[in-house]
Amino acid sequence: MSAVIENHHDDHDHGPAKGITRWLYTTNHKDIGTLYLWFSFAMFLIGGAMAMIIRAELFQPGMQIVEPEFYNQMITLHGLIMIFGGVMPAFVGLANWLVPMMIGAPDMALPRMNNLSFWILPFAFFILLSSLFMEGGAPNFGWTFYAPLSTTYAPPSVTFFIFSVHIMGASSIMGAINVVVTIMNMRAPGVTLMKMPLFVWSWLITAYLLIAVMPVLAGAVTMMLMDIHFGTSFFNAAGGGDPVLFQHIFWFFGHPEVYIMILPAFGIVSHIIETFSRKQLFGYSSMVWAMLSIAILSFVVWAHHMFTVGLPLAAEIFFMWATMLIAVPTGVKVFNWVATMFRGSLTFETPMLFAVAFVVLFTIGGLSGLMLAIVPADFQYHDTYFVVAHFHYVLVPGAIFSIMAAVYYWIPKWSGNMYDERLGKLHFWLSFIGVNVTFFPQHFIGLAGMPRRYPDYALIFADWNMVSSIGAFLFGFSQLLFLFIVIKTVMGGKKATDQVWEGAKGLEWTVASPAPYHTFSTPPKVD
Amino acid sequence: MLFNLLSFTKRNTFLIALLLLVSPFMQADWFALNMTRGSTDISNEVFELHMLIFWICVAIGVIVFSVMFYSMWAHTKKKNPVPAKFHENHKLEIAWTIIPFLILIAMAVPASKTLVKIYDDEAGDINIQVTGYQWKWQYRYLEDDVSFFSNLSTDLDEIYNLVPKGENYLQEVDEMVVIPAGKKVRFLITANDVIHSWWLPAFAIKQDAIPGFVNTAWTIVDEPGIYRGKCTELCGKNHGFMPIVVKVVEQAEYDEWVFAKKQEAIKLAELTTKEWTAAELVERGESIYEVNCVACHQTSGQGISGIFPALAGSDIVMNDKDRNIEILMEGVQGAAMNSFSYLSEVELAAVITYTRQSWGNAEKGDGEIVIPKDIVDYKEPKI
């Protein structure tokens, strides 16, 4: 008898709550995914506005718009906001939306923690941004916050910065644990590890990287806190400490962090290229092994960020060779994408355009990374605009293009409406041209000798800086078009089919469009 | 004939118009595209290495992208409606793992060889200690007991666009490092406050200047001339304003320069015992203040609220001469204020007196001046 009553309760399928509480109290993976994505979009626009200030100041030699002190605050916040507020939450948002649907799970494994890990993020960034209005200004020591500039010589707001980084770290760790537990425990019967979609694989690896290195970052900022307020001398040479120790700890976090921001992109791009080539991915298992090798190698290459700190010869040679080794699995991935497209049946809808641009421009960023690994040459490249060009090529047309590709690819499933293809293509071309006009000339500026984090420069760098600034304005303002397209799609438009894309494969395409509030309450059958 | 002439003039006008149009671009530096080859054996080797890996990367890019672009052109849904079915091919996969590996070794071997050469750590003929400060460089010639600071000499008006910028805008200093041509010069690089980095592209030297550490780098420059470099580690607000200028001269000229520097030092020492008036000290102190103090405490003496305290109206600067001297000599623990004890007694006395006499401090406070002897007394061992 009681069984009947319980059944009755189970059948009572409830949709989302009404009003603001739906978003505050939600434990639904789709709602939380949406929150993460909108939050990261807001941060992307704020961090982007800071980039516009930076490029406006660099438009011409001389100081015109801001003071050097404020310029340093802008570069610091731009980096922190784009990394921790833009790229990482966007990937977590995508993981929330997609991982359960791709593995046939009803939700994330730890839904309340999911809510918490999102809702502490706005506080972290509120604290970070409020430091702009504090006495002494916002953090001004670069997103890499090298001690002792970030300890003894830092503005008072550094303590708020440390608190904010701790919150971001806690959020990331909770998000990562959730992803691991979900993937390990909640796969539908038949979804074995080697049958998981590549996006799920990429996130499983990313999540382990996060769990491994976010505590290291927390350790670094805690040591800073101790140096600043409690009289320790971890990084203070005068007290017997070691400023270089900070860099070792920071980059032991920092290098895996770089791959945290690119592995999910690999997953996304693999799906999109497969779909729009209408052909099976060339080498699924080699893609998985390549990602695993990249992740493992990421722990033994950190000192390539520190070739000029005076490492012993043996260390320089080790880190050079280890770094170059990463090119092998990365090459495997690129070759796989090209081989997947080869003799496929290609169409170029907006997601595919972004994915193809990703492969080309990410490869350019990878090749300049290879150049940076060569120690003697790095003595000339290090801390110049060549490095700025390199990491923006892997992060903007790399990570960010992959996120945009993902939004265009999955938004019909999320909203039930098709986006406007003409506007999507326009957004792509504006972004593609903008990003290249911005960052390609920075290779020249760097090789010709302009250091990074300079608010003003010698006259020889003037021309290409102006070009770069024009590109940046184009790229920046094009993103308002992206905002418009997303809002337009959410509000309405041509209804999407369940399958959406002709060549798409995977469980998420078997559910209705828009995806119902609860999917896979009973696990699907997978062969 | 007429027709010919006409077309010739026409073409000429066109050419002139074109020239006029592009001339601003021709004066400009559109060709500042590549790394400098530099002027030492090592920097040449580094340049060759850079070009080698650059062309290898270009070749890889061309091959990969041409396959991809071909496929984007030839394998569209229109031209190839039925996709191929192939996937996984072990021979191909092994090939595209092994071949990049071999290419990498081809790059890493010459790079490692050059690196070993750079890491030669024999002492130089001349050894110069380079110390980074916020925001200037100090050079100490260890054999000759010559020591000086090198500051940016570009006028603030140029930076703030009030006057046209000079040819060496932001690349000029008040005192250049002078080294002899053809001699092995070793730089011992360290820092006094935060991390800086000493970069001279023409010598392919970039070494971080880290407080508590001494990094070294060496060079042999055969060609006399002026070489310019920069600080390349974010070191605070004037990171972009602490350039490096090295002047390479023949040995004879170098010897003369060292002699002149030593004479200068003797003259400066004599000044310590001179009788000073307040006005003389203030006059001398103003220029020292502009070079050493203005970046934080500002021309107005107001500092920057929350980070750099104001000197105008400060109780210490107005009324506590002893503490005032102590702060300059020892710095302030846990704050950005470092010891300035490396300045000479005259400079210290002058700059302290300047701050005690300016911004109305003398009127509101005790108005006492500091003379070089006060600094000498401070330095005497205290019993």
| pLDDT value of position B13 | 56
Give the span between the Cα atoms of A414 and A408, in whole angstroms: 10
Task: Write the burial class of residue A85 (CB in 10 Å: 0-12 exposed, 13-18 middle, 19+ buried).
Answer: buried
Residue A431 exposure: Cα atoms within 13 Å on the Cβ side: 26
Mutate to test the interface with B, among A380, A447, A452 (most CBs of B within 10 A): A380
Position B28 in a domain: no
B155: closest CA of chain A, how far (Å)? 11
Judge if B258 and B133 occupy the same domain.
Answer: yes
**Is A305 considered catalytic here?**
yes
* Tokens encoding A370: 């290879």
* C-beta separation of A134 from A160 below 8 A: yes
Instruction: State CA A347 to chain mean position distance.
Output: 27
Statement: residue A183 has pLDDT above 80: yes
Residue B120: pLDDT band with limits 50, 70, 90: confident
Judge if B166 and B250 occupy the same domain.
Answer: yes
Pairing of strands B196-200, B146-150: unpaired
Q: Which residues of B fall within a CB distance of 8 Å from A448?
A: 29, 32-36
What is the percent of chain B where pLDDT is above 90?
A: 54
Residue ranges making up the domain that contains B305: 272-379
Query: Is some CB atom of chain B closer than 8 A to the CB atom of A314?
Result: no
CB nearest to B35's CB, from A69, A360, A447:
A447
* Tokens encoding B226: 């002026």
Statement: residue B339 has pLDDT above 70: yes
- A 380-419 residues with CB < 8 A to B: 380, 382-384
- B315-345 b/e (C-beta count within 10 Å ≥ 16 → b): ebbbbbbeebbebbeebeeeebbbebeebbb
**Is A270 considered catalytic here?**
yes
Mean pLDDT (chain B) is 87
* Tokens encoding B38: 């530099």
* Tokens encoding A316: 């320089």
Query: Is some CB atom of chain A closer than 8 A to the CB atom of B172?
Result: no
Q: Any idea what DSSP says for residue B197? A: E
Mean pLDDT (chain A) is 94
Q: Which helix (H) or strand (E) holds B251?
A: helix B251-271
Query: Is some CB atom of chain A closer than 8 A to the CB atom of B34?
Result: yes
**In sequence order, what are the residues at sequence separation of 6 or more whose Cβ sits closer than 8 angstroms to the Cβ of residue B182?**
B220, B221, B222, B251
B94: closest CA of chain A, how far (Å)? 10
**Is A259 considered catalytic here?**
yes
Mutate to test the interface with B, among A301, A328, A374, A501 (most CBs of B within 10 A): A374
User: Higher confidence at residue A145 or residue B374?
Assistant: A145
A332-341, A467-476, B324-333: least confidently modelled range: B324-333
User: Higher confidence at residue B266 or residue A255?
Assistant: A255
Statement: residue A184 has pLDDT above 80: yes
* C-beta separation of B231 from B133 below 8 A: no
**Is A385 considered catalytic here?**
no
Give me the catalytic one of A57, A257, A316, A349: A257
Asked if A134 lies within 8 A of B306 by C-beta distance, the reply is yes
Q: How large is the ipTM?
A: 0.91
**In sequence order, what are the residues at sequence separation of 6 or more whose Cβ sits closer than 8 angstroms to the Cβ of residue A466?**
A59, A60
| pLDDT value of position A331 | 95
* Tokens encoding B191: 């820092």
Task: Calculate mean pLDDT across residues A391-403.
Answer: 96
Q: Which helix (H) or strand (E) holds B98?
A: helix B90-118
Judge if B262 and B147 occupy the same domain.
Answer: yes
Judge if B176 and B200 occupy the same domain.
Answer: yes
* C-beta separation of B327 from B337 below 8 A: yes
Position B114 in a domain: yes
| pLDDT value of position A148 | 92
Position B2 in a domain: no
Q: Which residues of B fall within a CB distance of 8 Å from A137?
A: 306-307
Statement: residue B18 has pLDDT above 70: no
Q: Which residues of B fall within a CB distance of 8 Å from A280?
A: 85, 87
Statement: residue B8 has pLDDT above 60: no
Give the span between the Cα atoms of A505 and A489, in whole angstroms: 23
* Tokens encoding A259: 């791959």
B4: closest CA of chain A, how far (Å)? 40
- A 467-526 residues with CB < 8 A to B: none
What is the percent of chain A where pLDDT is above 90?
A: 94
Asked if A451 lies within 8 A of B116 by C-beta distance, the reply is no
CB nearest to A376's CB, from B114, B194, B336:
B114
Task: Calculate mean pLDDT across residues A144-164.
Answer: 95
Residue B170 exposure: Cα atoms within 13 Å on the Cβ side: 23
Distances in whole angstroms, Cα of residue A210 to Cα of each of A110, A291, A398 = 17, 15, 19
- B 243-272 residues with CB < 8 A to A: none
- From B78, B102, B118, the end of a domain falls on B118
CB nearest to A370's CB, from B57, B161, B199:
B57
What is the tally of structural domains in chain B?
3
Give the helix ranges, DSSP H, for A66-197. Answer: 68-80, 88-103, 111-119, 121-130, 158-185
Q: Which residues of B fall within a CB distance of 8 Å from A363?
A: 61, 64-65
**In sequence order, what are the residues at sequence separation of 6 or more whose Cβ sits closer than 8 angstroms to the Cβ of residue A413?**
A496, A500, A508, A509, A511, A513, A514, A515
Give me the catalytic one of A151, A157, A164, A171: A171
Q: Which residues of B fall within a CB distance of 8 Å from A335?
A: 64, 96
A451-465, B234-248, B312-326: least confidently modelled range: B312-326
Position B82 in a domain: yes
Judge if B217 and B300 occupy the same domain.
Answer: no
Give the span between the Cα atoms of A271 and A266, in whole angstroms: 9
CATH of the domain at B100: 1.10.287.90
Statement: residue A303 has pLDDT above 50: yes
Q: Which residues of B fall within a CB distance of 8 Å from A245?
A: none
Judge if B94 and B186 occupy the same domain.
Answer: no
Residue A1: pLDDT band with limits 50, 70, 90: very low
* C-beta separation of B289 from B351 below 8 A: yes
| pLDDT value of position B25 | 47
Give the span between the Cα atoms of A47 and A45, in whole angstroms: 6
* C-beta separation of B227 from B243 below 8 A: no
Judge if B130 and B264 occupy the same domain.
Answer: yes
3-class secondary-structure state, position A184 = helix
Judge if B264 and B278 occupy the same domain.
Answer: no
| pLDDT value of position B381 | 66
User: From start to end of chain B, where are the E strands?
Assistant: 126-133, 136-141, 146-150, 177-180, 184-191, 196-200, 205-209, 215-220, 225-231, 244-249
Q: Any idea what DSSP says for residue B273? A: T
Judge if B223 and B164 occupy the same domain.
Answer: yes
Judge if B197 and B227 occupy the same domain.
Answer: yes
A373-377, B20-24, B165-169: least confidently modelled range: B20-24
CATH of the domain at B258: 2.60.40.420
* C-beta separation of A113 from A176 below 8 A: no
Task: Calculate mean pLDDT across residues B245-269.
Answer: 92
State the residue for tokens 């000044």: B271
- From B101, B118, B135, the end of a domain falls on B118
CATH of the domain at B299: 1.10.760.10
Give the span between the Cα atoms of B304 and A70, in whole angstroms: 12
Measured over the CA atoms of residue A47, residue A50, residue A52 and residue A54, the dihedral's sign is: negative
Judge if B244 and B153 occupy the same domain.
Answer: yes
| pLDDT value of position B382 | 57
* C-beta separation of A31 from A96 below 8 A: no
* Tokens encoding B69: 């672009």
B134-148, B232-246, B282-296: least confidently modelled range: B282-296
Measured from the Cβ of residue B251, the count of other Cβ atoms closer than 10 Å reads 11
Q: Which domains does chain A have, with CATH numbers?
A: 29-509 (1.20.210.10)
Position B209 in a domain: yes
**Is A452 considered catalytic here?**
yes
B221: closest CA of chain A, how far (Å)? 17
* C-beta separation of A215 from A169 below 8 A: yes
**Is A78 considered catalytic here?**
yes
B100: closest CA of chain A, how far (Å)? 6
A109-113, A502-506, B301-305: least confidently modelled range: B301-305
Give the tens place of pLDDT for each residue, A122-141: 999 999 999 999 988 999 99
What Rg value do the Cα atoms of chain B yield, rounded? 30
State the residue for tokens 């002190």: A69
3-class secondary-structure state, position B173 = strand
Give the helix ranges, DSSP H, for A131-280. Answer: 158-185, 198-229, 243-260, 263-277
Statement: residue B67 has pLDDT above 60: yes
Give me the catalytic one of A55, A382, A452, A469: A452
Position B17 in a domain: no
Judge if B246 and B131 occupy the same domain.
Answer: yes
A504-518, B30-44, B58-72, B201-215: least confidently modelled range: B30-44
Statement: residue A364 has pLDDT above 90: yes
- From B227, B250, B268, the end of a domain falls on B268
Give the span between the Cα atoms of B151 and B172, in whole angstroms: 8
